[in-house]
Structure 1
């Protein structure tokens, strides 16, 4: 009854929400991780993104390292399915640039690319190369200097002073030009990604294949190690676990992405481990006490393995709860899937797998009579 209620609730949630809320891995879109000099106002950032024409941006604080003010911005695909939204995100972020800049300071050192620094150096030519004769040497030197200057920035992600750049062996003439040309913006993009619609569709299909082949392989293994009835009962419990776990994501409207798929495959393995322990004891008791009724043999086996199951699940649950509450937003959905999986997997190994095996075995016994 409990399982039926949960599964029906999951199906109803799928219908109500129109399916899962896929992350960028499956739905496609743009993703940018931004490091800010100061804690940003997320409402201002969201309003600015919407003003740039980005519908339904997802913004969340992203704690990769303590003390860093990072924000994760996700945007859906445009109708054309192109990468145009990345440019709109960069345009929206300019609201966090300093209001006043020095005379001649026209480029943000925290966001400028190596190619732009090298090309501008070649134009200005502070080292006074003869660009007619030594153009290749000049280009190579300015590219080296651009790498050297920006490597100081990349080590920390965001600069607010020239100290780190001054600590390099850059020629004073180039350093002077850099300080008069660049300003320090209030943000830096430290990571970006784009997934197209075709890639997202392919990943969804591959995920379905991964689940299918995992279940088929486990069915074959359990059938080989035990018998077919055990195999079908185990797979029934695994399908039960995955359906309820996926339903939990639909009900809570959580994002479904590749790390969550990894968590589901972990759930399959964890749930199967509990089920195999119970099945092994059932088989053992059936061989030792052949005259004991099937239902009593299964009940005895469950009681004999119950303490082991509860201790294992309890200790695992403590770790998963720690990940869920203290692991941060990056792995929160992963931990949520494991949390649901541990609870449901423990329940199904006792209340789903064993009853399904009982029904299959009872029918087989009835046919022999």
Structure 2
């Protein structure tokens, strides 16, 4: 089945300035959201505290649960509905396990008199101290940084330094847009989300390398055509592969997002955004940076 004609010639390069403006605007919106909200919304893994997942047999509300818990068990707790089940809730508090021994029995003792014995199902309890959360956050950021440094070294060795710069800029672009989307939609960032960010980096890099490999090949074939024409030709030649790969990946991630349940909802959301921006950046960010690099180099050598 042939989705894209072999001789297709879409002017991606001609739209690069418009794409740059769009990317900058979206990144600034995300950064603005992070500033307004005081930074990322870290989960218990990174911020420390207590997370309890509870399911009730009868209908209830977050306000009623909070009213039953706060005087007896958790101070300054927040309660929110979890997943697709109307009677399943997440209870979050700043307290950690240092002062909450026997938390399971304390919560049941506070809720069962209100909702009835045996009607409250404790699905999970997670407790992380603030020092541990800070260390995990640091390690997660360092993992992303080391991945970037390794990619810079690999692409410099595999291609050229200008290719490596384009790939790194595209990856930073992808991470910033995904982080901004998490801030705008109020999603939490925890350890699985760091794993999702690393998966996004890998996916975006793979797509970028496919395009870069064709660009390098065409630079040898059509060295007299100029960099912009060669880059645009290479993007069009790999367009069919890009659409098929990204399309099938999106279908799987979308299925996880819609039907995977609350446990992996944020993880699937990160991958969904990451696949979209990763495909976009390989065409409109990583490749056009080669053109900008060539123009800058030619401008310096002209005098």
Q: What range is the shorter-chain TM-score in?
A: 0.7 to 0.9
Is 2:153 the counterpart of 1:249?
no
- Counterpart in the other structure of 2:108: 93
Which among 84, 88, 96 is matched to residue 99 of structure 2?
Answer: 84
1:40 positional shift: 5.2
Over 3 Å counting, the alpha-carbon distance change for 1:249 and 1:232 in structure 2 is same
In structure 2, stretches of 5+ residues that fail to align are: 1-20
- Deviation track 1:298-356 (CA, whole Å, cap 9, x = no partner) reads 11111111121112111111111111111111111001101110111111001100111
Residues 333-348 of structure 1: pairs in structure 2 closer than 5 A: 333-348=266-281
Over 3 Å counting, the alpha-carbon distance change for 1:21 and 1:354 in structure 2 is same
Which among 3, 26, 29 is matched to residue 6 of structure 1?
Answer: 26
CA contact (8 A) 2:163 2:212 kept: yes
- Counterpart in the other structure of 1:260: 193
- Counterpart in the other structure of 2:82: 61
- Counterpart in the other structure of 1:15: 35
Is 2:93 the counterpart of 1:75?
yes
CA contact (8 A) 2:82 2:89 kept: yes
- Counterpart in the other structure of 1:49: 69
Q: Normalising to structure 1: TM-score of the pair?
A: 0.69
- Counterpart in the other structure of 1:327: 260
SS of 2:124 mapped into structure 1: strand
Give, in whole Å, the separation in 2 of the partners of 1:31 and 1:90.
15
Aligned residues: CA RMSD: 2.5
- Deviation track 1:4-43 (CA, whole Å, cap 9, x = no partner) reads 101110111111000011000000001233455x245243
Over 3 Å counting, the alpha-carbon distance change for 1:191 and 1:56 in structure 2 is closer
Larger Rg computed on CA atoms: 1
Which among 126, 129, 133 is matched to residue 196 of structure 1?
Answer: 129
SS of 2:281 mapped into structure 1: helix
Give, in whole Å, the separation in 2 of the partners of 1:207 and 1:359.
32
CA contact (8 A) 2:69 2:111 kept: no
Give, in whole Å, the separation in 2 of the partners of 1:283 and 1:320.
31
- Counterpart in the other structure of 2:154: 221
SS of 2:224 mapped into structure 1: coil
Compare relative contact order (CA 8 Å, sep 6+) and give the higher one, 1 or 2: 2
1:291 positional shift: 0.7
Give, in whole Å, the separation in 1 of the partners of 2:110 and 2:136.
35
Residues 126-205 of structure 1: pairs in structure 2 closer than 5 A: 185-205=118-138
Q: Normalising to structure 2: TM-score of the pair?
A: 0.84
CA contact (8 A) 2:48 2:133 kept: yes
Which among 169, 180, 205 is matched to residue 272 of structure 1?
Answer: 205
1:259 positional shift: 0.7
